[in-house]
């Protein structure tokens, strides 16, 4: 039995997966390899797993006059996502990450979520893990925990689509 709920209004996603004993054993074996040092604290329940997190938000904002900072390109990316233009959103987030030397976890998280939306789970997981590591370095435990939950959710989606 599988129940998935994604509430856009509250920007909270919940996934409940009930596994048979055989499927649970197989999944536990796979997860030994799937979760790396970025998020060692992901808690697993033997009968069911609930993953709750707050995905990135994308609100339209005025475009800056000068597009020469990571934040400017991040705004362009957010605006593109808000209109459903995921291709250009990825281009803008790429530029923002380049200008920030890959040191802004929020931008990595936003790009990772867009990759997830586009079903590019490997790239999504890579960006989200990079964001989690940066949040850890900055001792932002709340953001790191949320990002780790996003990683778990994307990994579950990847497994379902495989």
The CA dihedral of 58, 64, 67, 69, to the nearest 10 degrees, is -70
pLDDT tier, 67 (very low <50, low <70, confident <90, very high otherwise): confident
Tell which phi-psi region holds residue 84, choosing left (phi > 0), alpha (psi between -120 and 50) or beta.
Answer: left
Cα–Cα distance measured from residue 66 to residue 10, given in angstroms and rounded to the nearest whole number = 33
The DSSP call for residue 11 is: T
pLDDT in tens, 96-151: 999 999 999 999 999 999 999 999 999 999 999 999 999 999 999 999 999 999 99
Strand 12-18 versus strand 2-7 pairing type: antiparallel
Q: What is the pLDDT of residues 70-100, one digit of tens each?
A: 999 999 999 999 999 999 999 999 999 999 9
Judge: domain 2-161, CATH 1.25.40.10: yes
């Amino acid at each position: 039995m599988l129940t998935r709920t994604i509430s856009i209004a509250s920007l909270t996603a919940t996934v409940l997966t009930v596994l048979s004993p055989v499927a649970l054993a197989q999944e536990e074996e796979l997860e030994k390899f799937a979760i790396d040092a970025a998020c060692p604290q992901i808690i697993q329940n033997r009968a069911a797993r609930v993953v709750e997190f707050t995905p990135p938000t994308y609100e339209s904002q005025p475009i800056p006059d000068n597009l020469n900072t990571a934040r400017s390109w991040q705004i362009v990316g957010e605006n593109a996502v808000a209109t459903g233009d995921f291709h250009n959103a990825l281009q803008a987030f790429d530029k923002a990450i380049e200008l920030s030397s890959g040191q802004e976890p929020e931008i990595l998280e936003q790009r990772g979520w867009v990759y997830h939306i586009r079903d590019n789970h490997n790239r999504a997981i890579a960006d989200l893990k990079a964001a989690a590591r940066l949040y850890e370095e900055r001792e932002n435990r709340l953001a790191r925990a949320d990002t780790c939950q996003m990683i778990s959710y994307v990994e579950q989606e990847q497994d379902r689509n495989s």
